[in-house]
């Protein structure tokens, strides 16, 4: 039975695993699963450790690990569960629908605090799942005014993560800086191909044999953030553009769902513009 989860990232050096194990043993914690990885290019060590045993004081353990590990170390002990999320949407329902169904059946590992959209189309759908829905229109507003209204609404819910469920608005670097490494997006292609509008029409016109989707963290560089997970499916000459859209939507919601579960279960570390994913 897991009683303690510990996440560590720090500069790499010899003996880190043994050092961590000694500290945990001193707290009568038994390691039942440990995944570690060294990003050699960045010379950084990452570990996700599951322990059994009774831990009296999370903060004391964290401070002891920090004292023993190299400088520039981050240690998290028992990160909050479940995560609170805010979902940003527009008019497309497939990703939002998958999130709301997973939330309803308690398989999301997160609490959907609210849904915010720049259109009112999905209000009845969202409220049918008893989730708060807020319409924040973008019409007749500058991007700064629109984002200020979004931030004001988000501040009411204090989300751990923001999920862009086909939210077709480009967010400014200033907005993203408010939630660093906490905004997840689903991109409608196997990055970086077919960026921009009507990706499936572009794919159809190019006669592609694979289509896919990419879930990634959002950074100030459009669609260039650290990739969490990707998936492709085969298509052929019999696929119309409409059929590609239908198939693509299935991939998009599956990829976003997987990415959220990985992140919410604290299985994803960010290293520069890459991720370490302990699946």
Catalytic choice (109, 121, 223, 266): 223
3-state class of 39 per DSSP? strand
3-state class of 72 per DSSP? coil
Compute the Cα dihedral for 135, 107, 110, 162 and give only its sign.
negative
The number of C-alpha atoms within 13 Å of 182 and in the hemisphere containing its C-beta is 16
Give catalytic status of residue 121 as yes or no.
no
CA–centroid distance for 140 within its chain: 31
CA distances from 194 to 94, 157, 199, 228, 277 (A): 20, 34, 5, 19, 25
Unique residue bearing structure tokens 């960045």: 42
* Beta carbons of 195 and 229 less than 8 angstroms apart: no
* Beta carbons of 84 and 264 less than 8 angstroms apart: no
* Beta carbons of 146 and 136 less than 8 angstroms apart: yes
* Beta carbons of 69 and 61 less than 8 angstroms apart: no
Distance, CA of 171 to CA of 136 (rounded, Å): 14
Distance, CA of 171 to CA of 209 (rounded, Å): 32
- The length of the chain, given as a count of residues: 279
Please give the positions annotated as active site: 223
């Amino acid at each position: 039975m897991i009683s303690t989860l510990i996440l560590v990232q720090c500069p790499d050096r010899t003996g880190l695993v043994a050092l961590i194990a000694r500290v945990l043993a001193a707290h009568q914690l038994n390691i039942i699963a440990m995944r570690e990885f060294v990003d050699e290019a960045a010379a950084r060590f990452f570990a996700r450790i599951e322990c059994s045993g009774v831990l009296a004081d999370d903060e004391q353990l964290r401070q002891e690990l920090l004292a023993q590990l190299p400088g520039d170390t981050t240690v998290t002990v028992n990160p909050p569960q479940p995560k609170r999320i805010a979902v940003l949407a527009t008019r497309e329902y497939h990703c939002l629908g998958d999130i709301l169904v997973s939330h309803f059946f308690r398989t999301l590992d997160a609490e959907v605090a609210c849904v915010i959209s720049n259109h009112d189309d999905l209000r009845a759908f969202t409220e049918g799942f008893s989730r708060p829905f807020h319409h924040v229109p973008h019409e007749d507003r500058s991007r700064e005014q629109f984002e200020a209204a979004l931030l004001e609404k988000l501040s009411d819910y204090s989300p751990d993560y923001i999920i862009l469920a086909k939210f077709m608005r480009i967010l400014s670097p200033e907005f993203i800086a408010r939630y660093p490494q906490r905004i997840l997006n689903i991109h409608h292609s196997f990055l970086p191909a077919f960026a921009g509008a009507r990706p499936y029409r572009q794919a159809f016109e190019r006669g592609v044999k694979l289509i896919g989707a990419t879930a990634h963290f959002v950074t100030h560089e459009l669609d260039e953030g650290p990739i969490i997970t990707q998936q492709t499916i085969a298509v052929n000459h019999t696929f119309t553009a409409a059929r590609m859209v239908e198939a693509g939507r299935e991939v998009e919601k599956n990829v976003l769902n997987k990415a959220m579960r990985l992140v919410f279960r604290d299985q994803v570390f960010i290293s520069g513009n890459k991720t370490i994913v302990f699946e």
